[in-house]
Structure formats: structure tokens, C-alpha cells
């Protein structure tokens, strides 16, 4: 019996009106890879998981009044998913835009050394993507931002 890869300590679960379409779109737009799909006897998607690097997201259908897609609740979000990229963030953003993502914030280098962008997916979930482009010390980040930063590693 083969050993499965260790499960991440933390995963995010996202609800979609059309989770099958979301799986295809997240793969095309953001580069996620589907690795688990569970269906019921009628072929309805009950649960799925996608990988990006060593991270995992769960993608499923709306299943209670408290588990809805932003498309069903006026495009409201209570959280965003952040993905740290090793690849060229500008190319990633162009790929997402070409697949139909709404780019809320174009790639911009931040005071802490990451270049980031924000995008809204096909049903309204907001995603942020970052790529470290410059090593910055806590002191440099504080000076550049005017903020006091604790816990900088």
C-alpha cells in the first residue's frame, strides 16, 4: 500500500453554485490541480480537493443556508484565500485575467517585499496572490510603512 502525502494542517473550503465548473475554472485560471472528487449515486459532486504547491482547498456545492457561494449572497465574502507563488506573479495574473478573473488590484510591490494582486473568481470569491520579490527586514518594513510590526520572522 502506498503512503499518501501528508495532509496540510489547515485547508480552506469554498462553496460554489456549480462546483464542477469551479474545478475547471480554478485549474485554468489559477493553476490548481484537482486530486480528489467524490460523487453520489446520481453523479452529483459531494466533495472535492485541489492542490496548489503544498496547499489544499476543498471545493463543494452550497449545502446549507450558512454555506453559500458569494454568487448567492450578493457577492459578499467573509474571508479571502491567499496563495503564495513561487512563479512569476505578473504572468499568473495575466493567466487569471485571460480566464475571466476580475482583477480587483493589479500586481503591486508591497512594503514587506511581496508583489501581490487580488482577483475575484467566477462566483465572486476573492483571492490574493503574492510572490516574494525582495528580502526586507522588519525595520525596513516599519520605516517604509510607518507601522509598528511585531512577530516578524
* Domain edges within the chain: 10-64, 80-153
pLDDT tens sequence across 1-58? 455 667 888 999 999 999 999 999 999 999 999 999 999 999 989 899 999 999 999 9
Domain pair 10-64 / 80-153, same fold: yes
3-state secondary structure of 34: strand
Q: Are 90 and 103 in contact (CB under 8 A)?
A: no
Domain 80-153 class?
alpha beta
Strands (E), the chain: 12-16, 33-39, 45-52, 55-61, 81-84, 102-109, 114-120, 126-132
Across the range 130-153, mean pLDDT stands at: 93
CA dihedral (10, 122, 43, 46) in degrees, to 10, reads 20
Domain 10-64 belongs in CATH node 3.30.720.120: yes
Amino acid at each position: 500500500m502506498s503512503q499518501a502525502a501528508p495532509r496540510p494542517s489547515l485547508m480552506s473550503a469554498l462553496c460554489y453554485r456549480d462546483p464542477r465548473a469551479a474545478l475547471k475554472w480554478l485549474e485554468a485560471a489559477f493553476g490548481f490541480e484537482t486530486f480528489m472528487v467524490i460523487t453520489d449515486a446520481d453523479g452529483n459532486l459531494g466533495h472535492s480537493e485541489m492542490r496548489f504547491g503544498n496547499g489544499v482547498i476543498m471545493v463543494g456545492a452550497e449545502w446549507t443556508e450558512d454555506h453559500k457561494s458569494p454568487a448567492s449572497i450578493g457577492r459578499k465574502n467573509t474571508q479571502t484565500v491567499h496563495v503564495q507563488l513561487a512563479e512569476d506573479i505578473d504572468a499568473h495574473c495575466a493567466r487569471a485575467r485571460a480566464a475571466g478573473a476580475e482583477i480587483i488590484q493589479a500586481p503591486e510591490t508591497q512594503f514587506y517585499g511581496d508583489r501581490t494582486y487580488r482577483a475575484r473568481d467566477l462566483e465572486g470569491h476573492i483571492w490574493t496572490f503574492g510572490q516574494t520579490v525582495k528580502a526586507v527586514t522588519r525595520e525596513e518594513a516599519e520605516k517604509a510603512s510607518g507601522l509598528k510590526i511585531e512577530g516578524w520572522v
